[in-house]
Structure 1
Amino acid sequence: MAAFTIAAGTGNWFSALALGVTLLKCLLIPTYHSTDFEVHRNWLAITHSLPISQWYYEATSEWTLDYPPFFAWFEYILSHVAKYFDQEMLNVRNLNYSSSRTLLFQRFSVIFMDVLFVYAVHECCKCIDGKKVGKELTEKPKFILSVLLLWNFGLLIVDRILDILCTIPLLILIYTNIRLMFSKRHMEGAFLFAVLLHFKHIYLYVAPAYGVYLLRSYCFTANKPDGSIRWNSFSFVRVISLGLVVFLVSALSLGPFLALNQLPQVFSRLFPFKRGLCHAYWAPNFWALYNALDKVLSVIGLKLKFLDPNNIPKASMTSGLVQQFQHTVLPSVTPLATLICTLIAILPSIFCLWFKPQGPRGFLRCLTLCALSSFMFGWHVHEKAILLAILPMSLLSVQKAGDASIFLILTTTGHYSLFPLLFTAPELPIKILLMLLFTIYSISSLKTLFRKEKPLFNWMETFYLLGLGPLEVCCEFVFPFTSWKVKYPFLPLLLTSVYCAVGITYAWFKLYVSVLIDPPVGKTKKQ
């Protein structure tokens, strides 16, 4: 981190940060690649070698195309570059194909797309105000934010090691936020977000925040001095304009499949409800705690002979497989139940965005809460989805001490929950070192930024975060040498998921309390 300080003093610190992280990604090229490597190779092959009418029907590989059409077209464009590296990677029947040229193409495609991400971060940092130190204005908040986004540990291992192309959607997300919050370009923001949804439909998580913010700030043409809206200033023309933008983008994306009468097939791929409540490795959310409680109750029930062993469902929640299962003691959860829970969790934040406007910061907080609430209660949530909350929270962390505290708890816990994704021995020191560097820098820099405020952590939060150290020692260095490794192979994943779920739930609750008690723009707490 000393290099960052030197760079900051020269005035070229952003270029140094961007160059440094690019060099690091190049060094990570030989590291482990997950099944996502084969997922994207297969999507390249599907879009390159098959007509569009077969894209969402092809099922030679288990890794079928399940992203929206814009991402499929993005893969199609990439495939025409990939053929110059290794033509064999574009053969649909070459399952689990890998070669040195294929690896280089996959890695460099991610690194090359990062140029766009760097641009979005640069534009975002220009919108962050400096911080006064005495009579001078320092750019320290901008510098810290640049590190938090460009050197984000989660992005380093998810996008750069696991070969998941998050860069383009993240670019659009960040740029959309800039256009909406700081430039007030609502139509452009609506267009970009519509494009984003057709790149990666997981961003439906934050669609309520965008919809309400656009409706309130754009479709009502005037506000009262206290921030409330003037109902007689509602513009139907602007509503129609927004709807037309979304419709045209959706028509461009889904139109070809509508013409082929394939929309039901496309949606069945995008929303695979038959995959079960949880992913193979439980995302650290409410359902992880729910599953763990059911497991504990079932063990107690068997010990006390309240339960019949012959009636225990065969599909195990802790097998590490993607499958549907029935809970033993607690009521089993359906997709409808998760939808209802998610909507209930989101509604208070939407209410605050409408009735307690807090400017751009209020929108960002609502967006984060929508992402976190969907992560907490959604159906078949992937552990990587925690990044949807961490990244917007990064923007909030450099502006207010309370948000910085919540960010540090969320990012430390959320990033640690990604550790099981890199489970091979060579990557163990890499992931530990990278996370330690990022976490230490995040905590120390934000503490320095808000050194005149109250401490960022209380004793309970400090104790919990320090507990991640012993947990890692137990999971990585102790458990493999015990007899439990054979009998309970999924135990480290269960412990990691449940422990991190506690921290993420706490951060979600703490952010919600902060949003609910903070006054609207133009008012103070005394008022």
Structure 2
Amino acid sequence: MEEQESPKTPVAIAQLVWFFGIASTIKLLLIPSYHSTDLEVHRHWLAITHSLPLSQWYSDETSEWTLDYPPFFAYLERFLSAFAHLIDPQIVHLHDGLNYKANSAIYFQRISVIVSDLFLLYGVYRSTQTLASFKRNLIWVLVIWSPGLIIVDHLHFQYNGFLFGWLLLSISFLAQGRDVMGGFLFAVLLCFKHLFAVAAPVYFVYLLRHYCWGGVVRGFTRLSVMGAVVVAVFAAAYGPFVYHGQIPQVIRRMFPFGRGLCHAYWAPNFWVFYIMLDKGIAFFLRKFGFNVLAPAASFTGGLVGDASPFVILPQITPMATFIMVLLALSPCLFKTWRDPRPRLIARSIAYAFTCGFLFGWHVHEKASLHFVIPLAIVAVESLEDAKHYFLLSIVSCYSLFPLLHEAQEYPIKVLLLLLHSILMWFCFSAQFTKNVSMKAGLQADKKAAQFGLKGSSRCAAEKGGFVLDWVAKSYLFGVLIVEIWGHFLHPYLLGDKFPFVPLMLISIYCALGILHSWIWQLKRIMILA
């Protein structure tokens, strides 16, 4: 048995603080780096919530960056705006502060994200309480030092680490059998960011079966308790807006279905193949003389907006994507109903987010973190899980590269991915090679004893461990080829011609990897007993 050390010991806490300190130091060094328009989006939200009464938060149109997150996030912005006003009142000025890029604003917002990562720290800490020290430390590395989170939150700019902290806390309580607390925390998370709702069917089925099922009286009582908890959370979030008659406007802001099927940069999901098929069929039909019009605009346009209509294939509606997500999720829901075990809940939630990413409406590439982060918890459970996570995390991180499109950030994102890949390789190898070698050696000795053979028979043990198969190696080599072509060869050979091709190749190639991950996750969930 592997020695298990309580995470409450001073040594374990010191290790966790060290992990977080190293990550925070890197994030502080990245403050002057590139940031996207999301920095201005959140600065404007600070101004909205600070300058306007609550009844006008979701109707203000001073800027194009209107508030479109659920109320708890708006309350968070209001809380942060009080400190921003003390540092620099211009940060929260609604009209004069538009596109305000002073160092005071940049540093305040950057540091606010770093501080909010304390929720992520506590979430991953609580999720690893029952694990042995090496596995616990490995998960801390995978989550706290996640290059994808650093790219999205601390370069591009968002607050995903804060939100994933709530998700991991919810999963940790469910894994301990504390279903009411787990459901409560997930309800809170939904009131911070509604895009996490794709996992709601898994939560509903699991809590209904695991917590509420078992007798009419007991079931009704527990269902009432869980329902009251969820209603209380949503009442706290949306109640003030119900009072002011703002709910229809809040819903319109939160669900802007007019934005189209795809984001400006195609997220690497199923719809990439659908789009390419439509474009390919239209291209060949035009070559053969058919009168097929080209789309009026490109799916790879730079602005977020309504995507181009399909030329040949049927148009995709939000309802169609909703049905596809539910169909993809249904095997997991049936499995959860038949076997609602706490130890499988993290896998099921991660699978739900994978389904939403692959088949959802207007998916952002950043949403791949929704399943990569919770899968880190199960990556240490088996050699197969570790190999899958190693490949998936690299694909997810690489798919985020287009977010940082300026030349000075190129070495940063490459270095982040390379260092994380090397670190994962050594950590997984250290964890699994020894275990596999011991098992292989014992089996070889047992077989040798059966045949009366003597001498060392553990040479087979050397063949085990953390070794990727040729398919995985070939795929990772393909990532290198795609990057070399897109960043170096395409500009050199073609110049400004076909500027969409490098992005398209990244989307298509990463979509293959994530599609494989989706199939692998489903098979894994269905076979685990």
Partner residue in 2 for 1:499: 509
Q: 2: distance between equivalents of 1:441 and 1:254?
A: 44
Q: CA RMSD in A?
A: 1.8
Match of 2:391 among 402, 409, 421: 409
- Name the counterpart of 1:510: 520
Whether the 8 Å CA contact 2:174–2:345 is kept in 1: the answer is no
Larger radius of gyration: 2
Which of 174, 187, 204 in structure 1 is aligned with 2:180?
Answer: 187
The more displaced of 501-510 and 161-170 is 161-170
Written as runs of structure 1 = structure 2, the 5 A alignment for 1:58-137 is 58-93=60-95, 94-128=97-131, 130=132
Residues in 2 aligned to 1:201 and 1:156: alpha-carbon distance in whole angstroms: 22
Measure the CA separation in 2 of the matches of 1:232 and 1:213. Answer: 18
Q: Name the structure 2 match of 1:250.
A: 234
Deviations 1:75-133 (A, max 9, x none): 001000001222112122232221011111011111111223222222222232x2xxx
* Alpha-carbon contact 1:45-1:91 (below 8 Å) kept: yes
The alignment status of 1:332 with 2:315, answered yes or no, reads yes
Give the corresponding residue for 1:238: 222
Check conservation: 1:404, 1:456, Cα contact below 8 A. no
Alignment match, 1:49: 51
Contact 2:119 2:166 in 1 (8 A): no
Structure 2: distance between partners of 1:38 and 1:447: 43
Once the two structures are TM-superposed, the CA of residue 59 in structure 1 deviates from its matched residue by: 1.4
Q: By how many angstroms is 1:65 displaced?
A: 0.4
Residue 144 (structure 2) pairs with residue 162 (structure 1): no
- What is the alpha-carbon distance in structure 2 between the residues aligned to residue 282 and residue 447 of structure 1? 34
Gaps of 5+ in 1: 1-9, 131-138, 222-230, 520-527
Alpha carbons 2:118, 2:162 under 8 Å: kept: no
Tell me how far 1:454 sits from its aligned partner.
6.1
Any residues of structure 2 matched to 1:145-224 within 5 Å, and which? 145-182=139-176, 184-221=177-214
CA distance in structure 1 between the partners assigned to 2:112 and 2:104 by the alignment: 12
**Distance in 1 between residues matched to 2:390 and 2:512, nearest whole Å:** 14
Cα deviation, residue 504, structure 1:
0.2
**Any idea what SS the aligned residue of 1:83 has?**
helix
Find the aligned partners of 1:509 and 1:445 in 2 and give their Cα distance: 26
One-letter identity of the residue aligned with 1:142: R
> Tell me, what secondary structure is at the counterpart of 1:277?
coil
CA–CA separation in structure 1 for the residues paired with 2:465 and 2:275 = 37
Q: Which residue of 1 is the match for residue 246 of structure 2?
A: 262
Deviation, 1:443, is: 2.6
Q: For the Cα contact (< 8 Å) 2:206–2:337, is it kept in 1?
A: yes
Query: 2:339 and 2:212 mapped to 1: Cα distance?
Result: 17
Question: What secondary structure does 2:157 align onto?
Answer: coil
From 427, 442, 447, the counterpart of 2:409: 427
Alignment of 1:330-479 (within 5 A): 330-357=313-340, 359-451=341-433, 452=436, 457-479=468-490
Query: 1:500, 1:90 → 2: CA distance?
Result: 39
Moved more, 428-437 or 291-300: 291-300
- 8 Å CA contact retained: 1:274, 1:324: no
Residues 402, 456 of structure 1: 8 Å contact kept: no
Q: CA deviation at 1:456?
A: 5.0
How many correspondences in the alignment? Answer: 489
Contact 1:403 1:511 in 2 (8 A): no
Structure 2 unaligned segments of length 5 or more: list them. Answer: 1-10, 437-463
TM-score by length of 1: 0.89
Q: Within 1, Cα distance between the matches of 2:250 and 2:407?
A: 39
TM-superposed CA distance for 1:233, in Å, is 8.1
Give the letter for the 2:151 counterpart: I
Aligned to 2:289: 305
Identity rate, percent: 42
Q: String of CA shifts for 1:121-171, please: whole Å, max 9, x gaps.
A: 22222232x2xxxxxxxx211111110011011111111112201233211
Cα distance in 2, alignment partners of residues 510 and 345 from structure 1: 13
Aligned 8 A contact 1:409 1:504 in 2 = no
How do 1:265-280 residues align onto structure 2 when only pairs under 5 Å count? Answer: 265-280=249-264
* C-alpha contact 2:202 2:348 (8 A) present in aligned 1: yes
Aligned partners of 2:478 and 2:470: how far apart in 1? 12
Q: Hey, which of these two has a bigger chunk of helix by percent? A: 2
Separation (CA, whole Å) in 1 of partners of 2:106 and 2:300: 32
